[in-house]
Amino acid sequence: MQIENQLLQLPLFAEKQVTLAIKREDLLHPFISGNKYRKLKYNLLEANKMGCNTILTFGGAFSNHIAATAYSAKEKGFNSIGIIRGEELRESWRENTTLLKAHEDGMIFKFVSRGDYRKKEETSFLSDLKKEFGDFYLVPEGGTNELAVKGCQEILVSGDEKFDFICTSVGTGGTVAGLINSSFPHQKVLGFSSLKGDFLIENIEKITNNSRWELVSGYHFGGYAKISQELIHFINDFKEQNHIPLDPIYTGKMMFGLFDMVLRDTFAKGTKILIIHTGGLQGIAGMNSVLKKKNLSLLDI
């Protein structure tokens, strides 16, 4: 599926002579968020090929991946199981918009402690899950594996060759890896990390085929799922001015960081930048529930 790029009209950047366009991957599907749609595409085909009828995966309380997997599985005729980080959610998950929707889409939950959750890649832990649930097709946390990267390599198309930089948010690294692998020889891919630290660099290096990329790690706002009033105001202002919603975990931080870099003259005049909107908008309601409890400003929906 091909998504048209939308040119951003930004008077603030007129003197910078930098062109910004956005690829609205969030519009790929009404319920399956952009990059999750790409990541799950070949995984579900492989599960069907292997004769598996159940998809098992991992995620947190407001995980875009959990929401997308539940709906995708239902749409394609699979059962789905979500291993959810945080035992405290066992009694309160119905108050969580993401988990409630995933449940409505047929997902069965198993809530585990954060300690057990860290064992998600261990053979013994996965073996115990198979004893409990029977055979299943495993999709990793965030959906990132070789098949996910293959799906994300389809984001860029021939018309995107005119851009000098490709920008995307980064969680587990699968989307940025796909973009790196499919980028044109003259392009550089910038991945804006939502996580603290540079540990993702090694993971991305393992699944990419060139070095024309950089992980930008200065705009995580304290780490995954962390947010500030400054970021909230930026996201709300961006939506009001451009009629494009951003999520607070991934795309909002990426856009904030990119704007800051442009204003700091990081890019030469005449540079053309393509921004990938990876979706994640379902998480806004969940974040607002957290912000409301803290008596902080809310994100526009």
pLDDT digits (tens, 9 = 90+) for 12-71: 788 899 999 999 999 999 899 889 999 999 999 999 999 999 999 999 999 999 999 999
The rounded mean pLDDT for the chain is 94
Q: What DSSP element (H or E) covers 36?
A: helix 34-50
For residue 1, give Cα distances in angstroms to 28, 37, 76, 251, 274: 8, 11, 18, 21, 18
CA–CA separation, 274 and 168 (whole Å): 9
Q: Is the pLDDT of residue 278 over 70?
A: yes
pLDDT at 195: 87
What's the pTM? 0.95
Q: How many CB atoms lie within 10 A of CB 262?
A: 18
pLDDT at 257: 98
Parallel, antiparallel, or unpaired for β 188-193 and 19-24? unpaired
Sheet strands (E) in the chain: 5-7, 19-24, 54-59, 79-85, 107-112, 137-138, 165-170, 188-193, 213-216, 272-277
pLDDT at 192: 97
CA–CA separation, 179 and 34 (whole Å): 14
pLDDT level of residue 1 (50, 70, 90 thresholds) = low
Q: Which two three-digit tokens encode residue 175? A: 């989307």
Q: Under DSSP, is residue 194 helix (H, G, I), strand (E, B) or coil?
A: coil
> For the residues 232-237, what does the mean pLDDT come to?
96
Closest to 274 in 3D by CA, of 47, 24, 11, 2: 24
Q: Under DSSP, is residue 287 helix (H, G, I), strand (E, B) or coil?
A: helix
* CB-based contact 245:281 (threshold 8 Å): yes
For residue 239, give Cα distances in angstroms to 47, 58, 233, 280, 283: 38, 31, 10, 15, 16
* CB-based contact 193:170 (threshold 8 Å): yes
Closest to 148 in 3D by CA, of 41, 58, 28: 41
Q: Is the dihedral of CA 61, 62, 68, 70 positive or negative?
A: positive
Q: What is the pLDDT of residues 247-264, one digit of tens each?
A: 999 999 999 999 999 999
